[in-house]
Amino acid sequence: MTRRPLGVSGSIARAFLENKLTPLIVVFSLFLGIFATVITPREEEPQIKVPMIDVMVGYPGATAEEVETRVVTPLEKLLYEIPNVKYIYSTSQPSGALIIVRFKVGTPPDEAAVRVHTKIQSAMDRMPDGMMPPIVKPRTIDDVPAVAYTLWSRTASPMELRRVADELKVELTRHPRVAQVWVIGGLRHVVRVDFDRNKLGSFNVSLLQAYQALRGFNWRLPAGDFNANDTEYQVDVGSFLRDAGDIGNVVVGVYGRRPVYLKDVASIRSGPEEPSSYVWMGSGPAAPAVGIPRAGVDTPAVTVAIAKKPGTNAVILVHDLDRLVDHLKGRLIPSNIQVTKTRDYGFTADEKSNELIEHMLIATFAVVLLMAFALGRREGVVVAVAVPVTLALTLAASYFFGYTLNRVTLFALIFAIGILVDDAIVVVENIHRHYELKWAHPRLATVYAVDEVGNPTILATFTVIAALMPLAFVSGLMGPYMRPIPINASAAMIFSLFVAFVISPWLTFKLFHKKAEAELEVFDASPDQETEEESRLHRIYARVMRPLLESRALRYGFLLGVLVVLVLSMLTVPTRFVTVKMLPYDNKSELQIVIDAPEGFSLEETNAAAREIASVFRSIPEVTDYQVYVGTSAPFNFNGLVRHYFLRHGANVADIQVNLVDKHSRDIKSHPLAKKIRKLVDPIGKRLGVNVKVTEVPPGPPVLSTLVAEVYGPSLEGRLKIARQVKKIFENTDGVVDVDWFVEYPAPRWEIHVDREKAIRSGINPEQVVRTLRVALAGADAGLAHDQFSREPVPIVLRLDRAQRSHLKDLLQLSVHGSDGRMVPLAELVTVHETHRERFRYHKNLRPVTYVVGEVAGAAESPVYAILNMEDRLKKITTPLGEKLPIISTHLPRDPTRYMMKWDGEWQITYEVFRDMGIAFGVVLVFIYVLVVGWFRSFVTPLVIMAPIPLTLIGILPAHGLLHVFFTATSMIGFIALAGIIVRNSILLVDFVNLELQAGETVENAVLRAGAVRFRPIVLTAAALVVGGAVIYLDPIFQGLAVSLIAGVVVSTVLTLVVIPLIYFMYVTTVGPEKIVPISEEE
């Protein structure tokens, strides 16, 4: 065989083979990896930065239709002009609106906020009179509370709990890495001024008169200063009201030439405010696991939620806050108040990171054992150094890329172990082979062995990178979620190539050269010989392959059989033997129950319903504790951030936050438990007349709901008619649960119209009537009581006594002053009409829409199959225009004059992800083809090399069906990654065949020898991938990736060792060996 000059790989190996820098590189790399692991922030899930800007607009007194027409529609149009805006959602309601501007993933949040604010300000001159200045509030992932402490007590009142929570908030806010702190629940300390209508009338004082008088008394201002006798004197004028006594002595009028004090016409109490929300703490059977003495706790509570600053390590922050809270117990926090940590994302992040690092070490150890068993103890040592060095460099690169240590970045490394070890396997195995041949000094044999496989290894490595990198360009919310996988895995491949050419040859030489030198016998032997093991493999391989090579019928019969099996495997998807889903649910330790009562429910009625539903959790063994939030929202997670749960408030809403015992301490996973809980709470909700939804933490990017039907059309009534039918179909479909729609219940509403003529005749401005009723019903703050002992401001709240505002007739007995001083009852000035509450109006991307939502919890938990089950019935719906309802799935309707329905929710994410992955797969094929064409200088050879790619489906799809595992986005990642790995094996085979042909072998012998010589590295590569996949299999989210890798690589490896040599044999014999490679002449 003619020796060729050393290539890049051989030159690199020779340069570092006995270089003193090589061991320093190993030590430095390991140190860098450990340092990166320590300083990189830890999180359970990737931080998906989706800039959302809330624009809150007040338009007091306007109807929902006026708000929609005059405010929302023009503002939406302006905001939609901003670059990188992906969605605009709006809700128009009486007296105001909320517009949510959602930008494309990756848009800088500050830039997004500035653009929205600037655009709004440019249009303020065109806004209607009476509209309040819009409030622009950015929302990001960093707003999600990382930790929450719930204060509860059997003896302390809600006001005392709130006061302690306010003090605790001040202490927590002082931590330099804390961004925001919220106090949820409890009753504020206020001075309540409850007016008595009869006393007001007897003293000839109106409610508005008392309100204005009280506001006028609570003033204190610096009046300036003056100079006298060479001294400057500062002058302050007025005094603040400090307590209930001061407030009660305020003069609000004169009657019978005597002053009328506020205490004469109202009861004044310094104490808790009138409840507008309730928070309760409860405990389940697993309560002792979190330090609660027993189950059955049911007491008032207050929750303190803390969000961290961007880039903060949640693990360290929570540890710091825990120490601070423990330090404050018995000092700031009284002994009769208990503190329970009801959220700890620092713990979950640390637990998940440590668990995955442990799995990474297990995978590394398993691969090392595999190599030691297959190649030998010393070869195993080489792999034991190569893999940690590669991982260490990848961890450092991940830190510099700006990634945190989370489930996805660490799984990317575990996944990478199976492929990054390939370079080391190929190089070490070939060095090992050349040592066994004993043809030259170990130094020369090492360099020659590296050079022999160097070029195909470089090509194969970049082929795998080409297969992975397009995944980094998946759009939408799943883009940043998945991006660490291709980025980190590609970085690992590059570092593994460096390690394979620099460190592996050096360490192999250090471990083997003395033994190899001692065994060296024949200096003039050829490196083209076969080892004993290769000769044995050659005989076995020839026994299998030779009949196929010699018989045309057998060849075509075998290939046809493989094609038939491939088609049958692909049919498992349309036959539903394999089910497709975006991502399966993870095993979390929290659930949320979202309760929506019909509009018109009182706070007490909602509270009673929520507490009855919550009582279910006292007997569920897996529940440690739960918190009931009535009239307000629970601390929100990323799902709640996207769904805007933090804006939930009002008498008819409630949340129940349910915390479960650690997943290692329970036999049932959170998703089956959620389905069990749903069966318990649904009947209670239906009996009480409230809508109950069991909300789990989504495994991937959150959406409005798993199933979302968006009904578009020109009129509100027409949309409601269609949405009502859609909702009914949802409710009658098996597996569709938690059905709801964004349509408000038409609760009763009273409209009070001021008779302008009567009012003017009495010398009364209609504004007096409006403001009087506003103070009487909603209450009004007349300034603050300046209590020096209260951390939180103490408002002075004026309101009509509750007993006298429970009926409209009582309210209308209030009087206002006429121009002549006479008291005129409101009943003489107004007319009353009973009607219904206005329905809110929703828009999405400027189009009016009505939402119908639901979750999926049947046998097939993918929304795809629920949609297919409902499609025929939905198409039978007739629109108000007399046509069948058109249903679209991939784009917004383009004709605003027609009624249409569009699927959204998880389906939209699923469609976008699989669409982008399909495009990425197409790009992968092009990249691989171009790379292989460039190397082999042939347009046909790359097609042969790429032929096994679809064969991976023979293993992937049936395995998903047999194991009852969803084919998910991560399964697709495994399929795409296998394309690069299988092509890598094909390259090694074809390249060796070409080398043998170049050396003068016949086509048949070249094919047989290539299969025998490359059999061991190809099988070892597959085995390493199986080991890495086995570790990943335990995780619910990445289980699909594991199944794809294990089943795909096993089946495709077996087929590759047969199909590639067979097809390449057919190709070479057809065109002739001389067309493939130049045949060397014997020297």
pLDDT in tens, 582-606: 888 888 999 999 999 999 899 999 9
Torsion angle (degrees, nearest 10) of CA 382, 386, 388, 390: 180
CA distances from 758 to 27, 707, 768, 810, 834 (A): 93, 54, 13, 20, 21
Mean pLDDT (the chain, rounded): 88
Q: Which among 402, 594, 561, 413 has a CA at the least distance from the CA of 486?
A: 413
pLDDT of residue 215: 86
Confidence of residue 2 (pLDDT cuts 50, 70, 90): very low
Specify the amino acid at residue 640: G
Q: Tokens representing 189?
A: 């300390």
What would the mean pLDDT of 94-116 be, rounded to a whole number? 91
What is the secondary structure of 383-433 as a DSSP string? HHHHHHHHHHHHHHHHHHTT--B-HHHHHHHHHHHHHHHHHHHHHHHHHHH
Span 126-154, mean pLDDT?
A: 92
The pLDDT, as a whole number, for residue 1025 is: 84
Residue whose entry in the numeric block shows the structure tokens 């025929």: 872
Q: How many CA atoms does the CB half-sphere of 635 hold within 13 Å?
A: 29
- pLDDT of 806: 85
52-139 — its CATH code? 3.30.70.1430
| CA 705 remoteness from chain centre | 13
Per-residue confidence (pLDDT) for residue 1, from 0 to 100: 40
DSSP bridge pairs for 283: 625
Using CA atoms, how far residue 490 sits from 195, 280, 425, 1037, in Å, is 72, 50, 18, 21
Q: Has residue 69 got a pLDDT over 90?
A: yes
User: Among all chains, which residue has been given the structure tokens 């060849």?
Assistant: 555
Spatial distance between the Cα atoms of 643 and 654, rounded to a whole number of angstroms: 15
User: Do residues 277 and 655 touch, judged by C-beta distance below 8 A?
Assistant: no
Q: What is the pLDDT of residue 924?
A: 83
Backbone dihedral angles phi then psi of residue 886, each to the nearest 5 degrees: -75, 140
Could you tell me if 412 and 390 are in contact, meaning their C-beta atoms sit under 8 angstroms apart?
Answer: no
52-139 matches 1-39+375-529 in CATH topology: no
Instruction: Please give the pLDDT value at position 425.
Output: 75
Q: What is the pLDDT of residue 840?
A: 94
Rounded CA-CA distance 832/1073 in Å is 99
Query: With 80 as the cut, is the pLDDT of residue 524 above it?
Result: no
Which residues have a Cβ under 8 Å from the Cβ of 94 and sit 6 or more positions away?
Answer: 62, 63, 64, 67, 838
CATH architecture of 142-188+275-346+587-698: 2-Layer Sandwich (3.30)
Q: How far apart are CA 352 and CA 345, in angstroms?
A: 10
CB-based contact 726:866 (threshold 8 Å):
no
C-alpha–C-alpha distance, residues 795 and 781, integer Å = 6
Distances (CA, A) of 398 to 26, 403, 523: 18, 6, 47
pLDDT digits (tens, 9 = 90+) for 658-668: 999 998 889 99
Q: What is the mean pLDDT of residues 313-319?
A: 91
DSSP string, 267-313: EEEEEEPPPS-EEEEEE-TTGGGGT-SSS--EEEEEEEEEEEPTT--
Task: Give me the numbers of helices (H) and strands (E) for the chain, helices first please.
Answer: 34, 31
CA 114 to chain centre: 25
Could you report the per-residue pLDDT of 890-899, keeping only the tens digit for each? 888 888 899 9
Q: Distance between CA 234 and CA 227 in Å, rounded? A: 9
Class of domain 1-39+375-529: mainly alpha
pLDDT band at 157 (very low <50, low <70, confident <90, very high): very high
Q: What ranges make up the beta strands (E) of 21-95? A: 52-58, 85-93
Alpha-carbon dihedral 265, 268, 272, 278, rounded to 10 degrees:
-10
Pairing of strands 52-58, 96-103: antiparallel
Do residues 53 and 136 lie in contact, with contact meaning Cβ atoms separated by under 8 Å? Answer: yes
**What is the arithmetic mean of pLDDT over 176-205?**
93
Beta strand 147-152 pairing with 338-344:
antiparallel
Mean pLDDT of 500-518: 79
pLDDT for residue 520 is more than 80: no
Asked if residue 937 has pLDDT above 60, the reply is yes
pLDDT at 1081 over 50: no
The amino acid sitting at 422 is D
Rounded to an integer, what distance in angstroms lies between the CA atom of residue 30 and that of residue 40?
Answer: 15
- In which residue are the tokens 């069948």 written? 884
Residue by residue, what is the 3-state secondary structure of 432-484?
HHHHHHCCCCHHHHHHHHHHHHHHHHHHHHHHHHHHHHHHHHCCCCHHHHHCH
Distances, alpha carbon 286 to alpha carbons 290, 295, 530, 670, 698, in Å: 8, 7, 65, 15, 24
Give tens-digit pLDDT for 852-870. 999 998 776 888 899 999 9
**Is domain 193-272+760-834 annotated with CATH 3.40.50.1820?**
no
Give residue limits of the domains in the chain.
1-39+375-529, 52-139, 142-188+275-346+587-698, 193-272+760-834, 532-570+938-1083
Range with the poorest average pLDDT among 63-72, 324-333, 436-445, 676-685: 436-445
pLDDT digits (tens, 9 = 90+) for 277-298: 999 999 999 999 999 988 889 9
Phi, psi of 101, rounded to the nearest 5 degrees: -105, 115
Over residues 446-469, the mean pLDDT reads 82
| Structure-block tokens of residue 796 | 């002075």
What six digits make up the tokens of 490? Answer: 């590609």
pLDDT tens digits for range 129-141: 889 999 999 988 8
CATH class of 532-570+938-1083: mainly alpha
Give, as one character, the DSSP assignment of residue 80: T
Q: Which two tokens stand for residue 967?
A: 């084919």
State the CB neighbour count (10 A cutoff) for residue 222.
10
- Token pair, residue 218, equals 């609570």
pTM (2 d.p.): 0.87
The β-bridge relationship of strands 251-255 and 258-261 is antiparallel
**Which residue, chain included where needed, has tokens 């009996």?**
687
Query: Cβ of 564: how many Cβ atoms within 10 Å?
Result: 10
Could you tell me how many residues make up the chain?
1083
Q: What is the pLDDT of residue 414?
A: 80
**CA dist., res. 392 & res. 6, Å (int):** 30
For a pLDDT cut of 70, what percent of the chain falls above it? 96
* 878: DSSP letter: B
End-to-end CA distance of the chain: 9
Amino acid 341: pLDDT? 96
**Using one digit for the tens of pLDDT, what is the confidence trace for 381-419?**
888 898 899 989 999 999 898 888 888 888 788 877 777
- DSSP, collapsed to helix, strand or coil, labels residue 31 as helix
Residue 1071: its pLDDT value, please? 85
For 697-779, where are the E strands, in sequence order?
707-712, 736-741, 748-754
Using pLDDT thresholds of 50, 70 and 90, give the confidence band for residue 1083.
very low
Q: How many CB atoms lie within 10 A of CB 458?
A: 18
Query: 95-99, 107-111, 275-279, 461-465: which has the minimum mean pLDDT?
Result: 461-465
Rounded to a whole number of angstroms, the CA Rg of the chain reads 37
DSSP 59: -
Tokens of 43: 């999180």
Residues 6+ apart with CB under 8 A from 1015: 537, 541, 1057
Q: What is the DSSP string of 577-608?
A: SS-B-S-PPP--SEEEEEEEPPTT--HHHHHH
Q: In sequence order, which residues have a C-beta less than 8 Å from that of residue 968 and are 6 or more positions away?
A: 580, 581, 582, 583, 584, 1040
Residue-level pLDDT at 519: 64
CB 168 within 8 A of CB 302: no
pLDDT tens per residue, range 212-271: 888 888 888 888 888 888 888 899 888 888 888 889 999 999 988 899 999 999 999 999
Owner of token pair 């048949």:
1004
Taking 60 as the threshold, does the pLDDT of residue 376 lie above it?
Answer: yes
Find out whether 232 and 839 touch, Cβ atoms under 8 Å. Answer: no
Q: What percentage of the chain reaches a pLDDT higher than 90?
A: 43
Please calculate the CA angle 277-282-284 and round it to the nearest 5 degrees. Answer: 155
How confident is the model over 358-385, as a mean pLDDT? 83
Query: Which pLDDT belongs to residue 534?
Result: 54
